[in-house]
Amino acid sequence: MSNPLKDHREIGRELELFTTSDLVGSGLPLFTPKGTIIRDILSGYSEQLQKDAGYEKVWIPHIAKEELYKNSGHWDKFGGELFKVKSQETKDLFILKPMNCPHHIQIYASKPKSYKDLPVRYFETTTVYRDEKSGELGGLLRVRSVTQDDAHIFCTMEQVEQELLIIINMVEKMYKALNMKFSLRLSFRDPKTPEKYLGTTEQWNEAEKIIKNVAKKTGLKYSVAIGEAAFYAPKIDIMVTDSQNREWQLATEQVDLVQPSRFKITYLDSDGNKKTPIMIHKALLGSIERFLSVYLEHTQGNFPLWISPVQVKILPVSIKHNDFANKIFKLLKENNIRTELDETNSTVGLKIRNATLQKIPYMFIIGDREVQKSEKIIKTSKDAFVSIRTREGKDLNSKNLYEFIQNLNKQIGNFQ
């Protein structure tokens, strides 16, 4: 009988990835060293894809004056979900940022731009805050501190299609690496309720036309969802199907013709006339917390080697093998393999069971045979041998350690 599938909260607890605290507050998860490794690897991969595509990293503070969000429209739309912070000295009201786009607009606006400067592509991985209702919070799926691999592109109308296609290309690379299938959902406004959206009918029609053209050019499967647009922009939402055949909305790209106008940002065209740029919002993972809730259940904690917080567990058969096991441990660390060493006085069977429950991809078993076969380890790593077992219970038998480390680094290097 197959093991029952586990909820991401149970997996996170068993693998010691994240925790919560009543003193910190509900909807505010705390990530352990192992959980933070996974977060950093995923966000690092996302950031590398963006750097390769010509994006530039920026940094913004976590609070801003209320006027910023009144200009952007977030105050009117999400006033009840905003965390408010009052200065004890000046009594000014500040807001914990619910979105990053108004801040990025201010960076764009800090210096005049011409058409030759466009597209401008800003990105950062940062946390936003929303006062979600306590009854709606659940594990990592819905939280009050939302970390996004966020980006904003400022471009001309003629550049929009190409920028959207670049984003789709990054999405394809990301989800292929994660072994997750996806389709596109074109999230458009509902024309029956125009009061829910900012901007003119002409702006929305133009943006939706561009999005549909891009979807057709990708050749990917897509559907249209009326009423699922953001209040300021239509979207291409990335709908990911997990191993349990459930569909989730994770990544997104949005064509925004509204906020640039509200903030009156411009560029000079080839004739020296002021024009309003188009703004594209992008996220590859979306909310990292939400993504992890889906990914933990998709993999059931069996992460690919490059994501696993511990890639190798070294298991000496008895205490007398600990010295040699420590040499192997040091060697793996020097080769940037994430490694743990079990020096407890437990049976090797129990050590294997614990490492298997922790979903560690590889176990190195160190006993008399490995020590005797590797007497020259002090002189050169090329002479060392270890017995290897996988988390699936497959014995790979005795392997040359030097060659196996090279193989591990080759697998990991494909994604870093």
Judge contact between 286 and 148, C-beta under 8 A. yes
For residue 247, the cross-strand partners are 241
Mark out the alpha helices in 15-90 (DSSP H runs). 33-52, 66-72, 74-78
Dist CA 207 CA 235 (whole Å): 9
Residues with active-site annotation: 101, 130, 148, 150, 152, 235, 281
Side by side, which strands form the sheet with 93-96? 63-65, 93-96, 84-86
Dist CA 38 CA 49 (whole Å): 17
User: What is residue 208's DSSP assignment?
Assistant: H
Judge contact between 330 and 377, C-beta under 8 A. no
Nearest to 113 by CA among 279, 262, 235, 234: 279
Rg (CA), the chain: 25
Q: Helix, strand, coil proportions of the chain in percent (round to 5)?
A: 40, 25, 35
Judge contact between 309 and 360, C-beta under 8 A. no
